Structure 1
């Protein structure tokens, strides 16, 4: 019995010693340090307000169009025959080349017949002219001899008296003469010549087709006289001046041509609310230009004095910004002078104020912030 009691006491003593040892060891561990880092404040990027003279360019895309476009139409009826320059869209031609020819053999025969009848009538009346108007007979005789059936009829001799004029009118010599002149004009209209160096932009007929009077046959453009038509927002048109230099850029933003602003429309496009301006290209560096091609125009605009340029996302509610005062955000209003695609030109703040150019998310007035170094 005593032995059992002794064993139990030894077990209890052993447990007690073990528990005491564990308590002692746990007391030797260091207590975990409390997190003493303060809550981080939002970082903001700022710029000190400083005003200068700013050049604020306007960059817009435009479309090339010929400064001279002409529709070719027929003033006489007839079949279209080969003229030398193919009737094809894009076909180039030189000034003075024959573009369109309407079959003329029948009209040529009719014109010869008119001249023959006129010569016959004039021959019948020359004896009377010699007797009654001897002082002018030589002029009429020279006129008669100068008439050639294959050439244009020469000018009429000058009538020297009212009696001579009555005589010519009564014999219908004047009427027949001007009928021939009218027929010659119509005959010449059977050939259409190029008024400038250019190319076909539109073709509505072909060789062998019959042209009617007033029919539009083709549209031509002067290929060496192109203008860039650029739509500008109506609120920005006041920044542009006639005759100012304009840079024409490629897709990489490099200047490839220069031009001059020559015209501004005096109306607003109802669909786009823009006003078209026209740039005459001056230096092309030998590069090819094409009707309908899109190019980018950079207008220098006017110099803006006493202003500063900042990113548009720094502005909210149209004309408000944040400034940092003693680590606190403060709302302030600015005077917006010009809005660009990604930036904004303004004044209205005091120079030296710390303007926030990258506001934090959900920024509010009186928010504590840190200035980004």
Structure 2
């Protein structure tokens, strides 16, 4: 019994001594002192203010349009007959091709009947002209012989006297002549010829349909004379001038053509607050089509004594921070031009240390460290 008590007491003593020893070793280890007054000084990116001449290119996307688009309308009524150029959207044609033909046989026959009556009246008048206006007979006889039923009337002989005019008016020769000329003009409206090389962009009728007077039949464009319509921010329009050279870029950024600024709109689009400008392309290309979207790079102009910085370096429209003796100081700048991601300015002294990356909760006299870009 005494032996068991001795063993238990020995174990308890060993455990107690071990615990005391461990606490003693912990107390020997020095704990680092916390510096509650120490503050972390933030780093900021800066640039030294240096002024130079800066180019101000303006890059905007636009849509290609034909420089010339014409709506074909009917000035007469009748059935549309087939011609050599198919009446289909996208169909190409050459200048002078017959695009539309409205059935005109009845109008043509009426015109020939008018000419026949006119010839009859002239034939009846020639004997009187030979007697009363002997010196004018040859001229009128030549005019009579020159008239062809299937051709336009030749020009009237020159009237040399008042008596001759009275004679012609009394026989209504002048009235009949100009009535026929009017019918000839009307007959020409039954056929519409291509005024340029181009293609159909819209077709509102088909062969066999009846065209009404004044109805829109189709729309055509001149394929090669294209211009780029580009919306430009109203604040940037002052940098663009008529005649400026423009680079035309594809969606991949490759230059596909060059152009010249032709005109600027004098109104602002209400929806986008932009002003449309139009660029004429200098080089025709079969790879460019109406409706295609391309990028226009305007050269703008050189701005002297200026500097370009990121837009996020500026706050409250025209305020920046500079570093003076390790402290932030707020200063005002003069903004010359705002780009999508940058800003061009002056107004600071050259050599100032300008903060280009403003820290969170930045304030006047805040202590900072800087990394110079």
Same fold, TM-score > 0.5, yes or no: yes
Aligned to 2:288: 289
Aligned to 2:167: 167
Q: Does 1:57 align with 2:45?
A: no
1:80-229 equivalent positions in 2, closer than 5 A: 80-229=80-229
| CA distance in 1 between partners of 2:303 and 2:226 (Å) | 32
- CA 1:19–1:99 in 2, change beyond 3 Å: closer, same or farther? closer
Aligned to 2:232: 232
Unaligned runs of at least 5 residues, structure 1: none
Comparing 332-341 and 261-270, the one that deviates more: 261-270
Aligned to 2:249: 249
Q: Does 1:366 align with 2:365?
A: yes
| CA distance in 2 between partners of 1:95 and 1:248 (Å) | 28
1:346, CA displacement in angstroms? 0.5
| CA distance in 2 between partners of 1:108 and 1:20 (Å) | 129
Aligned to 1:308: 307
Unaligned runs of at least 5 residues, structure 2: none
Residue 356 of structure 2 aligns to a residue whose secondary structure is: strand
Residue 358 of structure 1 aligns to a residue whose secondary structure is: coil
| CA distance in 1 between partners of 2:39 and 2:235 (Å) | 47
| CA distance in 2 between partners of 1:188 and 1:120 (Å) | 25
Aligned to 2:73: 73
TM-score normalised by length of structure 1: 0.92
| CA distance in 2 between partners of 1:172 and 1:59 (Å) | 69
1:364, CA displacement in angstroms? 2.0
TM-score normalised by length of structure 2: 0.92
Q: Does 1:31 align with 2:30?
A: yes
| CA distance in 2 between partners of 1:20 and 1:204 (Å) | 103
User: CA deviation digits over 1:34-54, x for unaligned, max 9?
Assistant: 467965322211111110000
| CA distance in 1 between partners of 2:26 and 2:268 (Å) | 86
1:335, CA displacement in angstroms? 0.7
1:270, CA displacement in angstroms? 2.6
Comparing 314-323 and 268-277, the one that deviates more: 268-277
| CA distance in 2 between partners of 1:130 and 1:24 (Å) | 152
1:203, CA displacement in angstroms? 1.3
| CA distance in 2 between partners of 1:347 and 1:225 (Å) | 43
Number of equivalenced pairs: 368
1:136, CA displacement in angstroms? 0.9
Aligned to 2:278: 278
Residue 257 of structure 1 aligns to a residue whose secondary structure is: strand
Q: Does 1:356 align with 2:355?
A: yes
- CA 1:19–1:88 in 2, change beyond 3 Å: closer, same or farther? closer
CA RMSD, aligned part only? 2.6
User: CA deviation digits over 1:310-365, x for unaligned, max 9?
Assistant: 00011111111111122222211111111011100001111111111111222222
1:24, CA displacement in angstroms? 9.4
Aligned to 1:320: 319
Comparing 334-343 and 199-208, the one that deviates more: 199-208
| CA distance in 1 between partners of 2:76 and 2:12 (Å) | 135
